[in-house]
Amino acid sequence: MPTTKDKSRKLIRLLLLIYPIFMGLMGTISLIVLVTWGIPQEDLQSQLPAILILALVIYGTCAASIAIRAIFFKKEKISQE
């Protein structure tokens, strides 16, 4: 029978996998909407640094989540009981 520690580890692994999937998807959709409809074409060049910072925050947290999952759960194999 799995212990509470094993269940919490499985939950953390799952959340560290689900977060980048949904955050990356929703971040991509929001950036596309922002660039195509939110910002007028003549102002797009001046808003480019803000858009890049926003993309860096969105995709940086996704990469950090995947890196944390890979580093902390690399040697550990959770049984599928």
Query: Is the model more confident about 2 or about 41?
Result: 41
pLDDT by residue (tens digit) across 19-68? 999 999 999 999 999 999 999 999 999 999 999 999 999 999 999 999 99
pLDDT by residue (tens digit) across 6-17? 889 889 999 999
Give the pLDDT score at 4: 87
Indicate the SS3 state at residue 81: coil
Give the pLDDT score at 66: 95
Give the pLDDT score at 73: 83
**Separation CA 49–CA 57 (nearest Å):** 12
Q: Which helix (H) or strand (E) holds 68?
A: helix 48-72
